[in-house]
């Protein structure tokens, strides 16, 4: 469990919002406009929109800035307030908001839980002792991957925020529903004014880039799909060529090939090939125009696709004929 000097650290805000049924598309279009406005503010590092999932019933928007001060300027700025007035017609109730300063971004496909507590100033020492006990107990459960604790931020958030991570939803639920957790919660009864949210980061490990100690947010779903395709094509063709001498029946060949391709994609193709090749397109600098990065990125995608296409055409027609 760690704490940070928030004034000097990067800052992330997690906003949850319920959207009126039938207005999801309009809300998403509006939210993209809000994110574009945020990009014009100093210190902006990135923004991400996540639709509801079985783990998170709200729409989740994450903003990341290089400092608490810059994040605060955006959150409290007139531009955002004006946009919120426009977007209010899409909301089904008020949003929730948690801010964390600094901290670490997971490089594994984890499930993150965000818990906020209101703590009376006279009870801070007791709260920290209780949190240490909570962390000690949850660390004994399968799949636990760490805890971080963040103090309130003056002028932005009054609550204490705790992040804890598990490797999958099943292990997380085992902890959340365990008698041990209920026992620890009972011991901290005076801290029972809290909110809890689960956030699924299950695709994050395929796209992890560290820039000057700060983790940029994941690329869009469209970029993600294209990037996976860039890595999947050579991986699948090379595996097919490698396994073809075994002459396995179709059902078995696909079973074995998919197993190997999953491991190769996760541990080699994506981190060492695709992420490096398309890094500036997947995680562009906010200072570079989006049109330029998209043009360069798609150009690289096209060139690499043509290259592999030519290589495999020559290999399979001139050098090696599949059985």
Q: Report phi then psi at 139, rounded to 5.
A: -70, -15
Edge to edge, what strands does the sheet with 194-200 contain? 144-150, 160-166, 111-117, 194-200
Q: Which of 249, 233, 236, 234 is nearest to 323 (CA)?
A: 249
Instruction: Give the model confidence (pLDDT) of 270-302 as tens digits.
Output: 888 988 899 888 877 766 777 888 899 999 999
pLDDT tens digit at each of 323 positions of the chain: 333 333 345 778 888 888 999 999 999 999 999 989 998 888 888 888 888 877 677 888 888 888 888 888 888 788 888 898 899 899 988 777 777 765 544 444 567 777 888 888 888 888 888 888 888 898 899 888 777 777 776 666 677 878 777 877 788 888 888 999 889 888 888 887 777 766 665 434 444 444 433 444 567 778 888 999 999 999 999 998 898 888 889 889 889 989 999 889 888 888 889 888 998 888 777 667 778 888 999 999 999 999 999 999 998 888 876 65
pLDDT score at 149: 76
In angstroms, the CA 162 to CA 76 distance is 23
Read off the tokens for 321.
């004929």
Instruction: Give the model confidence (pLDDT) of 118-171 as tens digits.
Output: 888 888 888 888 888 888 898 899 888 777 777 776 666 677 878 777 877 788
What DSSP string describes 238-256? HHHHHHGGG---HHHHHHH
16-43: buried (b, 16+ CB within 10 Å) or exposed (e) per residue? bbbbeeeeeeebeebbeebbebbeebeb
- In Å, what is the CA distance from 285 to each residue of 19, 45, 279? 31, 8, 10
In angstroms, the CA 9 to CA 214 distance is 9
Quick check: 16 and 197 in contact, CB under 8 A?
A: yes
Would you give the DSSP letter of residue 64?
E
pLDDT score at 229: 93
In angstroms, the CA 234 to CA 152 distance is 48
pLDDT score at 108: 47
Q: Helix or strand or coil: residue 211?
A: strand
Domains along the sequence of the chain with CATH: 6-206 (3.30.70.100), 219-319 (no CATH)
Q: Which of 194, 224, 181 is nearest to 48 (CA)?
A: 224
Edge to edge, what strands does the sheet with 96-101 contain? 44-50, 59-65, 11-17, 96-101
pLDDT score at 300: 94
pLDDT score at 287: 66
pLDDT score at 218: 60
pLDDT score at 8: 41
- 3-state SS, one letter per residue, for 143-154: CEEEEEEECCEC
């Amino acid at each position: 469990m760690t704490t940070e000097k928030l004034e000097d650290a990067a800052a992330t805000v997690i906003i949850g919002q319920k959207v009126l049924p039938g207005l999801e598309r309009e809300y998403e279009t509006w939210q993209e406009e809000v994110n574009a406005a945020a990009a014009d503010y100093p210190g902006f590092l990135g923004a991400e929109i996540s639709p509801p999932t079985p783990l998170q019933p709200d729409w989740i928007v994450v903003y990341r800035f290089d400092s608490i001060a810059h994040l605060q300027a955006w959150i409290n700025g007139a531009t955002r307030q004006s946009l919120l007035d426009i977007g209010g017609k899409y909301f089904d109730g008020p949003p929730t908001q948690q801010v964390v300063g600094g901290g670490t971004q997971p490089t594994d496909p984890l499930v993150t839980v965000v818990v906020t507590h209101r703590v009376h100033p006279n009870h801070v020492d007791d709260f920290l002792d209780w949190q240490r006990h909570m962390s000690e107990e949850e660390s004994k459960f399968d799949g636990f991957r760490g805890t971080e604790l963040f103090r309130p931020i003056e002028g932005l958030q009054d609550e204490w925020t705790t992040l804890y991570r598990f490797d999958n939803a099943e292990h997380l639920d085992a902890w959340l529903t365990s008698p041990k957790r209920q026992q620890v919660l009972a011991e901290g009864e005076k801290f029972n004014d809290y909110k809890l949210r689960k956030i699924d980061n299950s695709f994050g490990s395929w796209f992890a880039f560290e820039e000057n100690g700060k983790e940029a947010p994941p690329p869009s779903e469209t970029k993600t799909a294209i990037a996976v395709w860039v890595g999947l094509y050579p991986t699948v063709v090379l595996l097919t060529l490698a396994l073809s001498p075994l002459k396995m029946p179709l059902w078995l060949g696909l079973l074995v090939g998919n197993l190997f391709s999953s491991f190769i994609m996760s541990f080699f193709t994506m981190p060492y090939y695709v992420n490096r090749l398309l890094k500036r397109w997947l995680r562009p600098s906010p200072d570079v125009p989006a049109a330029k990065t998209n043009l360069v990125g798609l150009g690289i995608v096209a060139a690499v696709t043509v290259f592999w296409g030519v290589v495999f055409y020559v290999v399979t027609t001139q050098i090696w004929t599949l059985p």
